[in-house]
């Protein structure tokens, strides 16, 4: 009998976590083999590996403890990949040599599979004097563009693009440009952005006082704090970025405030880290721990929870010693502090099984109790490890216990730490768990509410055909198994039905017992007023959150039409077409199959003469007309130079295949223009072009502008002429770059595809 609760779970395991060779040879025949591989690899670091292998296997069994994907995919494989999820890179020096050395370190880290964070506040502002060369500085955003291009080029761990977080202090002279950067849809696409907001700034906002923008002791501008705050809020309202990080609160609460200063986070924000800081992640699956679900006696067995947490802490501590690290500085930092991030997933499903409505005071209180229990068990387990293996090398009892987090900890835990020390400096975090939650049977992710109780997923079969399967939330499936077609109770709510205050209440409740931070998206309705939107962030600040990330569906960010109205209907409610739930009888059709080719097409041919090449390249672009709009349909790339034959044929076929599937194909231009040739590019028409492929991308872009498909150079799709063809009853989400389906949704601050599990944040 399969261990998987849903077909999607087995698909995710097979695609992402199952050990296979490059030639297709399968080593993990079953998911039990995967659990055994991970358990054995981590237990080798123990004095009694046989005993701990069995205990680790038991924790993994039935998806009760879910190590982060990098651990499940990489442990015991002998591959040169890191098992750590999160990195913040070293402080960027304010000089050219240091900046490009930092770029190199970032490339090496992403190559092994690490998502990275950087604070760009250390680079002098645009226009500042550069002594010795009689020039003005180009500013941090110009160097962020270089990082962005690098990230496009590096394929993280050989399978996916890297993910990056960029932060900037609220008092940096270029912060206004930083805040507005995502208004250009083609810029900094590989970055998540967050502003480091200080307590002093928030007080100035409340008082409508002045705010100085300074660097290196020099004040460049003085503005009104509230004006800057409104700019941050307006950008987030319009483009879902930047996020806000309450950096003083993070540093005050940090257990290690006595030996480090934090100024950046990993890409999804749950791990504030010092320079070269690294952290690994894992989650307790609360949905698998509820006993007697949907009964008045439903409960989580606290003794079982304590034991599971203790085993998970030991497993994660072993990862610190067995993992590879891209850089030696990262290894030294990790082993000096032994930071780990144990969190939860399936919280919303667990609350449903207890009959609680997500977002209520009752649900928040239950969440706080569970998180408190987990924190206690984690800290006491780490104390036991310290007795056995020693405290982390930088442990200082008095300074550690004086931190903001430890001052709020239970007295018996404080006493145990004071007497025996502690193995891990920080222990808890709530990560984005989108993919591992699917793998665990489509449980609700992290501390998020259930996004959709049901949605349709297209599955690629071995013969190349696609079948459709209905994917149900884990708790809904359990309800159906127990009560059949009985109507869902009114406490079954999803993300579209909650008020923003409900989200903030749950984040604040969980944050109280999380020593790092929480990856959480606060979904807000499209028609929320700007003042109400700003109040969400102020509520997050006032209630003790360490950061705030919102998602407001609109024409820029998109919205999702992938949920099933039948499963999400709440008793007593009339279905409405709100851009998230289709009307009764409305079919949602996705453009996954290629458009048929008419007998004749109009197009244009462009001659491209690359310097130092003996032969020109000819690029032909043919268009199709849909609903009165022209869009690119196919491309032919030809050259008499036989050295170009193979790649021009391959590029012709690939680009044409993408174009024929419709949707927003402007990313093809974006990707081609970002390719650079290590042998050097060329100057064409007064502009530096980094490669022949980038030049072809420029040709395609100019053609798309001429036919009205793009608004202008560097701008994305103006409108999608396939929308009427597929008869969508409203807006839809952006297309997934991995599978092409329009099933991207914001999950804990990260765009994630519910069709294939692709995640922007890795």
pLDDT at 306 over 50: yes
pLDDT at 663 over 60: yes
- State how far the Cα of 53 lies from the Cα of 49, in Å rounded to an integer: 6
CA 456 to chain CA centroid, Å, is 22
- State how far the Cα of 444 lies from the Cα of 50, in Å rounded to an integer: 34
List 85, 255, 266, 494, catalytic entry = 266
Q: What local confidence, expressed as pLDDT, does residue 580 receive? A: 31
Is 472 a catalytic site residue? Answer: no
List 270, 448, 634, 748, catalytic entry = 270
| pLDDT mean over 25-34 | 95
Q: How confident is the model at residue 469 (pLDDT cuts 50, 70, 90)?
A: confident
- State how far the Cα of 168 lies from the Cα of 173, in Å rounded to an integer: 10
Question: Would you tell me how many other CB atoms lie within 10 Å of the CB of residue 583?
Answer: 12
CB distance 302 to 29 below 8 Å: no
CB distance 259 to 42 below 8 Å: no
- Percent of the chain with pLDDT strictly greater than 70: 84
Write down the domain spans for the chain. Answer: 38-82+271-420, 86-253, 602-706
E strands in 125-175:
129-130, 135-136, 155-156, 160-161, 164-169
* Angle, CA of 585, 591 and 593, to the nearest 5°: 115
- State how far the Cα of 559 lies from the Cα of 516, in Å rounded to an integer: 30
Q: What local confidence, expressed as pLDDT, does residue 636 receive? A: 92
Q: What local confidence, expressed as pLDDT, does residue 757 receive? A: 60
Higher pLDDT, 586 or 299: 299
pLDDT at 748 over 90: no
CB distance 302 to 373 below 8 Å: yes
Which pLDDT tens digit goes with each residue over 593-621?
567 778 888 899 999 888 766 678 899 99
Query: What one-character-per-residue DSSP string does 629-671 give?
Result: EEEEEEEEEEES-GGGHHHHHHHHHHHHHHHTT-S--HHHHHH
Work out the burial of residue 505: count CB atoms within 10 Å of its CB; fewer than 13 is exposed, 13-18 middle, 19 or more buried.
buried
Token duo for residue 3: 């261990």
H or E segment at 28? Answer: none
Is 268 a catalytic site residue? Answer: yes
- State how far the Cα of 138 lies from the Cα of 145, in Å rounded to an integer: 11
pTM of the complete model beyond 0.95: no
Mean pLDDT, the chain, rounded, equals: 85
Which pLDDT tens digit goes with each residue over 123-182?
999 999 887 776 788 999 999 999 988 887 774 434 455 689 999 999 999 999 999 999
Q: What local confidence, expressed as pLDDT, does residue 597 receive? A: 79
- State how far the Cα of 709 lies from the Cα of 136, in Å rounded to an integer: 38
Q: How confident is the model at residue 496 (pLDDT cuts 50, 70, 90)?
A: confident
List 86, 151, 170, 268, catalytic entry = 268
Terminus-to-terminus CA distance in the chain, angstroms?
31
Q: What local confidence, expressed as pLDDT, does residue 363 receive? A: 98
CB distance 562 to 471 below 8 Å: no
Which pLDDT tens digit goes with each residue over 633-650?
899 998 887 777 888 888
Task: Kindly provide the b/e burial profile for residues 451-485, where b requires at least 16 CB atoms within 10 angstroms of the residue's own CB.
Answer: bbbbbbbbeeeeeeeeeeeebbbbbbbbbeeeeee
Beta bridge partners of 344: 284
Q: How confident is the model at residue 589 (pLDDT cuts 50, 70, 90)?
A: very low
Q: Please state which of the four CATH numbers 3.20.70.20, 3.20.20.70, 1.10.357.10, 2.60.40.10 is assigned to the domain occupying 38-82+271-420.
A: 3.20.70.20
- State how far the Cα of 762 lies from the Cα of 758, in Å rounded to an integer: 8
pLDDT at 272 over 90: yes
Is 324 a catalytic site residue? Answer: no
Higher pLDDT, 540 or 460: 540
- State how far the Cα of 541 lies from the Cα of 245, in Å rounded to an integer: 10
| pLDDT mean over 454-464 | 64
Higher pLDDT, 304 or 559: 304
Q: What local confidence, expressed as pLDDT, does residue 152 receive? A: 75
Higher pLDDT, 664 or 378: 378
E strands in 499-596:
522-523, 547-548, 550-551
């Amino acid at each position: 009998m399969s261990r998987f609760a849903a077909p999607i779970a087995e698909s995710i395991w097979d695609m992402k976590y199952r050990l296979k060779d490059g030639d297709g040879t399968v080593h993990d025949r079953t998911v039990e083999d995967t659990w055994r591989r991970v358990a054995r690899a981590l237990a080798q670091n123990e004095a009694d590996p046989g005993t701990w292998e069995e205990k680790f296997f038991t924790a993994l069994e039935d998806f009760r403890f879910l190590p982060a994907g990098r651990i499940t995919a990489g442990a015991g494989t002998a591959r040169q990949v890191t098992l750590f999820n999160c990195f913040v890179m070293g402080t960027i020096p304010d000089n050219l040599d240091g900046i490009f050395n930092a770029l190199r370190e970032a490339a090496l880290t992403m190559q092994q599979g690490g998502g990275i964070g950087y604070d760009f506040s250390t680079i002098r502002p645009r226009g500042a004097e550069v002594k010795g060369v009689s020039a003005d500085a180009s500013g941090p955003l110009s160097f962020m563009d270089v990082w962005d291009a690098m990230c496009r080029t590096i394929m993280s761990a050989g399978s996916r693009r890297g993910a990056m977080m960029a932060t900037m202090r609220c008092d940096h002279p270029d912060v206004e440009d930083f805040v507005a950067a995502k208004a250009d849809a083609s810029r900094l696409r590989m970055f998540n952005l967050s502003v480091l907001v200080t307590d002093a700034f928030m007080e100035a906002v409340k008082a409508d006082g002045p705010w100085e923008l300074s660097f290196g002791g020099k004040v460049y501008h003085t503005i009104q704090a509230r004006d800057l705050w409104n700019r941050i809020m307006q950008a987030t309202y319009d483009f879902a970025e930047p996020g806000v990080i309450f950096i003083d609160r993070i540093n005050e609460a940090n257990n290690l405030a006595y030996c480090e200063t934090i100024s950046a986070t990993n890409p999804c924000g749950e791990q504030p880290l010092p320079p070269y800081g690294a952290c690994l992640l894992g989650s307790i699956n609360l949905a698998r721990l509820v006993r007697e679900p949907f009964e008045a006696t439903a409960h989580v067995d606290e003794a079982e929870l304590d034991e599971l947490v203790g085993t998970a802490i030991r497993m994660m501590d072993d990862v610190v010693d067995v993992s590879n690290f891209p850089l030696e500085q990262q290894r030294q930092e990790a082993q000096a502090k032994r930071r780990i991030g144990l969190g939860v997933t399936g919280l919303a499903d667990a609350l449903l099984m207890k009959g609680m409505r997500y977002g209520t005071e009752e649900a928040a209180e239950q969440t706080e109790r569970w998180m408190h229990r987990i924190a206690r068990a984690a800290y006491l387990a780490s104390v036991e490890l310290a007795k056995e293996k020693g405290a982390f090398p930088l442990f200082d009892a008095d300074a550690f216990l004086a931190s903001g987090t430890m001052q709020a900890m239970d007295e018996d835990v404080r006493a145990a730490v004071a007497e025996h020390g502690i193995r891990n400096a920080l222990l808890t975090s709530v990560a984005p768990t989108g993919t591992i939650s699917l793998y665990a049977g489509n449980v609700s992710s992290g501390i998020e509410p259930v996004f959709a109780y049901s949605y349709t997923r297209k599955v690629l079969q071995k013969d190349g055909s696609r079948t459709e399967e209905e994917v149900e939330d884990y708790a809904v499936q359990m309800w159906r198994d127990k009560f059949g077609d009985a109507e869902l109770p009114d406490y079954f709510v999803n993300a579209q039905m909650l008020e923003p205050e409900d989200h903030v209440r749950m984040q604040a409740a969980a944050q109280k017992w999380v020593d790092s931070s929480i990856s959480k998206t606060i979904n807000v309705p499209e028609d929320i007023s700007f003042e109400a939107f700003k109040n969400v962030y102020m509520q997050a600040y006032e209630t003790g959150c360490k950061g705030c990330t919102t998602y407001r569906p609109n024409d820029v960010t998109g919205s999702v039409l992938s949920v099933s109205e039948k499963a999400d209907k709440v008793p007593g409610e009339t279905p409405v077409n709100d851009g998230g739930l289709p009307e009764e009888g409305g079919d949602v059709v996705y453009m996954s199959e290629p458009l048929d080719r008419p007998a004749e097409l109009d197009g244009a041919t462009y001659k491209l003469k690359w310097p130092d090449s003996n032969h020109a390249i000819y690029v032909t672009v043919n268009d199709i007309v849909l609903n009165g709009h022209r869009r690119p349909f196919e491309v032919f790339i030809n050259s008499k130079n036989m050295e170009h034959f193979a790649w021009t044929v391959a590029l012709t076929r690939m680009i044409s295949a993408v174009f024929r599937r419709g949707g927003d194909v402007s990313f093809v231009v974006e990707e081609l223009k970002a390719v650079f040739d290590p042998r050097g590019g060329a100057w064409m028409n007064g502009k530096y072009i980094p490669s022949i492929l980038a030049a072809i991308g420029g040709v395609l872009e100019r053609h798309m502008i001429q036919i009205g498909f793009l608004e202008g150079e560097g701008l994305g799709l103006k409108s999608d002429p396939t929308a009427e063809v597929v008869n969508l009853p409203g807006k839809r989400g952006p297309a997934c770059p991995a599978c092409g389906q329009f099933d991207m949704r914001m999950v804990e601050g990260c765009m994630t595809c519910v069709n294939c599990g692709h995640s922007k944040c890795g």
